[in-house]
């Protein structure tokens, strides 16, 4: 591989490539995954990369294979993302993200009086539904619904 290409695209030996992230959402994906605190390997981020269906973001995480729960959280803000698990430079698994039916400890309830926002040690919990591609989160404690800008309410 020539140096020029190496500069632009770094192939990874083992880890995860998250492709087809909604353009502009890569940094939120990193936050959901707790990067950099949770990963010691190299993490590469491509913003506004040209793709078949317009611009997209791509995140490559070396030496870490994402778990299902982590992948599903990404679906909340980027439902078209694909997850490629890389082993020995080859894609060993490719999967679509899957919007979870229930999330816990990911999003803050928008109701300031909700018990999950009090000083009690209560984890936020939401039931998730999808309506015409719109994701709706319903707080199990107070019933408040979050239907837009989910990324802004991530914990």
Residue numbers at the binding site for Zn ion (CB under 5 A): 109, 111, 114, 139, 141-142, 144
How near is the Cβ of 124 to Zn ion at its closest, in Å? 7
Q: Which two tokens stand for residue 3?
A: 């140096």
C-alpha–C-alpha distance, residues 33 and 43, integer Å: 11
CB-wise, 43 or 107, nearer to Zn ion?
A: 107
Compute the chain's Rg from CA coordinates.
Answer: 17
How near is the Cβ of 78 to Zn ion at its closest, in Å? 24
CB-wise, 45 or 141, nearer to Zn ion?
A: 141
CB-wise, 22 or 127, nearer to Zn ion?
A: 127
How near is the Cβ of 110 to Zn ion at its closest, in Å? 8
CB-wise, 36 or 112, nearer to Zn ion?
A: 112
Picking from 45, 57, 54, 47, the residue whose alpha carbon sits closest to that of residue 19 is 57
Cβ pair 80, 74 in contact under 8 A:
no
How near is the Cβ of 148 to Zn ion at its closest, in Å? 16
How near is the Cβ of 154 to Zn ion at its closest, in Å? 15
CB-wise, 22 or 111, nearer to Zn ion?
A: 111
Q: Which two tokens stand for residue 99?
A: 């919007």
Side-chain-side CA neighbours of residue 149 (13 Å): 5
Other C-beta atoms within 10 Å of 22: how many?
17
Phi, psi of 72 (to 5 degrees): -65, -35
């Amino acid at each position: 591989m020539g140096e020029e290409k190496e500069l632009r695209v770094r192939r990874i030996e083992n880890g995860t490539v998250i492709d087809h992230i909604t353009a502009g959402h890569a940094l939120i994906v990193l936050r959901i995954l707790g990067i950099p605190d949770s990963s010691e390997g190299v993490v590469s981020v491509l913003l506004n990369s040209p793709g078949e269906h317009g611009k997209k973001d791509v995140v490559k995480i070396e030496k870490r294979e994402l778990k299902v729960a982590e992948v599903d959280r990404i679906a909340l803000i980027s439902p078209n993302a694909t997850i490629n698990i890389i082993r020995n430079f080859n894609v060993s698994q490719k999967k679509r993200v899957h919007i979870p039916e229930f999330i816990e400890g990911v999003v803050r309830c928008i109701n300031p009086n909700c018990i999950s926002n009090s000083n009690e040690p209560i984890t936020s919990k939401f039931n998730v539904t999808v309506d015409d591609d719109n994701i709706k989160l319903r707080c199990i404690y107070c019933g408040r619904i979050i239907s837009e800008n989910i990324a802004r309410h991530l914990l």
